[in-house]
Amino acid sequence: MAEVVFVGTGDAFGSGGRRNSAILVRDRGKTLLLDCGPTTLGGLQELGIDPRELDAVVISHFHGDHCAGIPFLLIDYLYEHQRTTPLRIVGPPGIQERVEALKRAFEYREEQDRAYSLEYLELATERNVSLDGFTISAFPAFHHPNTKPHMVRVRGSDRQVMFTGDTGWHERLPEYVGDVDLLIAECVFWERDFKYHLNHERLQRERSRLRAGRVVLTHLGSEVLTNLDRAQFDTARDGLILPV
């Protein structure tokens, strides 16, 4: 796997002026996007990344700061960066219905003029999906149940990355992470205990149980940003490019 590009590393509130959740994974000329928050399209352009580079978009769950950027991306493919190559959108069960509902809510309709094929695929826990040279595996996350939350493992040519999406700590989390090369873990809080999100204190306490070669924190809230100089893990920032 060539590299990971952190397009957006902030929480739902854009703490610290950071963009919402969006992470590019590149390998062997293929690119997928993990999450597509509403600030994603602007982030890609600010970083000089052509949105047409994306071969697939993988959504971890249905909170708006993780998926509400999809309609903007699709309308961009119609008017600004005309797309002609296929695109796949992968997400929890009901992903197509959710995206179609977002497009209707935003009054963004592009089907009649679309010059590329668009395919939707649903994640199923602990079942693999082959996707443009990547293998995607989904695992249960502990988050608001109605958002259908998943953690996502991405296997490329010779590296594995695990993305927690949004999740609180749960006892099977270390098992699901396994022996990946890179764990990208959400970390909204420093020490505040909130059942649906991770905090730095808990991650530090459980580090020995995480077999990942490297842990990088993202989805950083104001509490964590205030304490960055004390962090015991690497922390992502918008625009960070990380070889894997």
| Catalytic residue ranges | 65
**CB of 238 within 8 A of CB of 8?**
yes
Encoded amino acid at 17, one letter: G
Nearest residue to 27 (alpha-carbon basis) of 129, 134, 183: 134
Nearest residue to 36 (alpha-carbon basis) of 78, 87, 105: 87
Q: Give the total residue count for the chain.
A: 244
Task: Report residue 23: phi and psi, to 5°.
Answer: -135, 125
Q: How far apart are CA 93 and CA 95, in angstroms?
A: 6
Structure tokens at 71: 């309609």
Task: Report residue 220: phi and psi, to 5°.
Answer: -85, 130
Residues 176, 185, 38, CA angle at the centre, nearest 5°? 120
Number of Cβ atoms within 10 Å of the Cβ of 230: 9
Task: Report residue 33: phi and psi, to 5°.
Answer: -115, 125
The residue to which tokens 């873990």 are assigned: 185
